[in-house]
Structure 1
Amino acid sequence: MSRRMALAGLGALGLSGPAVRAAPGGLPSNVGHADSSPQWEELRAKLWGREPIAAGEASKVQLIVPLRAAFGASVPVKVLSKLPQTEALHVKRMTLLVDKNPAPIAAVLDMSPRMGQADLETRLRVDEYGHVRVVSELSDGSLHMDSRYCKVSGGCSAPPNRDQLHNIGKTVFRLPEGLKADGPTPAEVSVVHPNDTGFELNHITVMYIPPHYVRLIKVSYDGEALFNAEVGFSLSENPSLRFKLMARPGGRLNAEVEDTKEGRFRGQLALA
């Protein structure tokens, strides 16, 4: 099964866990951040088979997700790598998953040592209470995971904002902290796009909006790939990825973007 096929349809697993009782101010009483789920067990078997996956203190990756998010269609997610990106050892591939989404694989990123640090920030759609997970594959073949339980719902059916349809595909870079000479520089690439899931209802026509979402974001620096991200509609409307790179004045960031209607878009930024 290709990753693109998995992104488009490796969901709707039809599995549900046992009923849970809410614990005031915290997790449901019998659910923990590191717990498994039927959906995760099936995903793990399909994607990684019986390969061991380090978790807890042994894991080289940390995931930060709010326990309660304000809006299911835009849940902030931050991934922190516990080791720098070097040629000797680096994060080779990162997979973001939302257990109970219709398409649970939100993004698969192939990453370069040129990033300096394999940190990532984005916003996800979360369709119902459940776990968000990240699995990092290192260049030595080892797998590392972290997971967080998130109490929010409705993210995949929330109607998108339709006021920027004329700007679809506009791709913009920014450096939120400026160019750093002494370490990795934080950067962000964002794409104006409704990222329609196919589960959203048009309240005027009372018809479902057909799926139309970004499926590929490729970012390079001076012609050298930083990351290739195969993504799905579990990324929020106007998807954005905040990442890091080892940069210098005079370099140039470039992005190539594709969506499910064969739209192709580009963006670039010269680093002063």
Structure 2
Amino acid sequence: MRPTFAAFPLAVGLTLSAAALGAAPAAYAAGASDTDQERNARWQEIAKSIFGDRTISPTDTLVKLDAPKRAEDAALVPITLTMPDRDKIKAVSLIIDDNPAPYAAKFEFGPAADTNELKLRVRVNNYTDMHAVVETTDGKLYEAKQFVKASGGCSAPMGMSDEEAMKGMGDMRMKFADAQPGKPVEATLMIRHPNFSGMQMNQVTRDYTPARYIDKLTVSAGDQKIFTMTGDISIASNPVINFGFKPDGKPIQVAASDNQGGSWTKSFTAPSPTN
């Protein structure tokens, strides 16, 4: 079972409940001065809370994690996960060690998936290590790591009222790259949703906006799953996810739900594999 974000350690000896999200910036201030040893100790505790006692081995081939060394916008940090050996990859987890909820997302792949490249945008709340942990089809875990300089992404205001941010919530669009016979198709899924983190202050009421974020997303090609994403507050507002899939001419089905009970579905006409 995947733990809830309230159970994840912020640092050695610290945890955060949903009710305390508003106080997180004052309660926790890891930063650029942390040593490698301190960061490694924090990662070991986070990894244990998510994966238990399973061994996680480093890799430079099964997964690569690409993120900007210094983010231009901490609320919209682009992440690229490259997993070229798609027949070996069962799932990938993205962990942002120093975020209030480190476990940003888990993608579980189905038979219609092409894992070569997966892109998404996340919030980064502090100078932090990121980890991409893949689970292979034989049940082993491997990880890649990158350090990112950013701060304040989880509490950054939307720049509009909560009501404006929620207009059209659940609307979806999808773009497809040109299809080539015998090759996977690249798709870009865009979902209208504020993904409130619970740490953002309403500029009118001066209260913290309750957390409301997409917690599950399933994308399928016909009756074949491409991926299921389990998400949390670290996913950026209005999520954009780039992914690959094996086309068979059947529609792409998307089902999304959030932690407040919202749910949305939409079907898209996919390019024909013979085009």
Over the residues paired in the alignment, what is the CA RMSD in angstroms? 2.3
Q: Does residue 272 of structure 2 align to residue 269 of structure 1?
A: no
Which residue in 2 is equivalent to 1:155? 153
Alignment of 1:65-214 (within 5 A): 65-83=67-85, 85-86=86-87, 90-162=88-160, 163-175=164-176, 177-214=177-214
How far off its partner does 1:18 sit?
A: 8.5
Q: What's the offset of the Cα at 1:40?
A: 1.2
Question: Match for 2:51: what amino acid?
Answer: W
Name the residue aligned to 1:55: 58
TM-score of the superposed pair, with normalisation by structure 2: 0.85
| Matched residue SS, 1:40 | helix
Q: Is the 8 A contact 1:122 1:242 kept in 2?
A: yes
Cα deviation, residue 215, structure 1: 0.6
The 3-state SS of whatever aligns with 2:229 is strand
CA deviation after TM superposition for structure 1 residue 179, in Å: 2.0
Q: Residue type matched to 1:10 in 2?
A: F
CA distances 1:128-150 after superposition (whole Å, capped 9, x unpaired) = 00111110000011211101100
| Segment of structure 1 superposing worse, 187-196 or 46-55 | 46-55
Q: Read off the aligned partner of 2:171 and give its amino acid letter.
A: K
Q: 1:192 to 1:11 in 2, by over 3 A?
A: farther
Length-normalised TM-score, structure 1: 0.85
Give the residue type in structure 1 aligned to 2:263. R
CA distance in 1, matches of 2:103, 2:209: 21
Q: Which residue of structure 2 lines up, in the alignment, with residue 24 of structure 1?
A: none
Secondary structure of 1:144 counterpart: strand
- Give 1:46 shift: 1.9
Aligned to 2:237: 237
Work out the CA distance in 1 between the residues paired with 2:168 and 2:209.
Answer: 18
Asked if the contact 2:120–2:241 (Cα under 8 Å) also holds between the matched residues in 1, the reply is: yes
Q: SS of the counterpart of 2:45?
A: helix
Aligned counterpart, 1:223: 223
Is 1:46–2:29 an aligned residue pair? no
- Partner of 1:46: helix, strand, or coil? helix
Kept after mapping to 2: 8 A contact 1:196/1:237:
yes
- The answer to whether the Cα contact below 8 Å between 2:217 and 2:230 also exists between their aligned partners in 1 is yes
d(CA) in 1 for partners of 2:9 and 2:55? 23
Instruction: Give the aligned residue type for 2:138.
Output: D
Specify whether residues 118 and 8 from structure 1 end up closer, same or farther in structure 2 by C-alpha distance, changes over 3 A only: farther
Q: Residue type matched to 2:260 in 1? A: K
CA distance in 2, matches of 1:160, 1:203: 10
Greater mean deviation of Cα atoms: 187-196 or 43-52: 43-52
CA contact (8 A) 2:111 2:224 kept: no
1:46-68 Cα shifts (integer Å, max 9, x gaps): 222332222144x5110000000
* Cα contact 1:132–1:150 (8 A) shared by 2: yes
Displacement of 1:185 in angstroms is 1.0
Decide whether the 8 Å contact of 2:186 with 2:245 is kept in 1: yes
The answer to whether the 8 Å contact 1:179/1:271 transfers is: no
Judging changes above 3 Å, is the alpha-carbon distance between structure 1 residues 116 and 56 closer, same or farther for their aligned structure 2 residues? closer
Deviation at 1:8, TM superposition (A): 5.2
Cα distance between partner residues in 2 of 1:42 and 1:203: 36
CA, structure 1 residues 199+167, in 2 after alignment: closer, same or farther (shift >3 Å)?
same
> Could you tell me whether the CA contact under 8 Å between 2:31 and 2:127 is conserved in 1?
no
Distance 2:197 2:9 in 1: 13
**Aligned position for 2:19:** none
Letter in 1 for 2:53: R
Could you say if the C-alpha distance between residues 31 and 221 of structure 1 is closer, same or farther in structure 2, counting changes exceeding 3 Å?
A: same
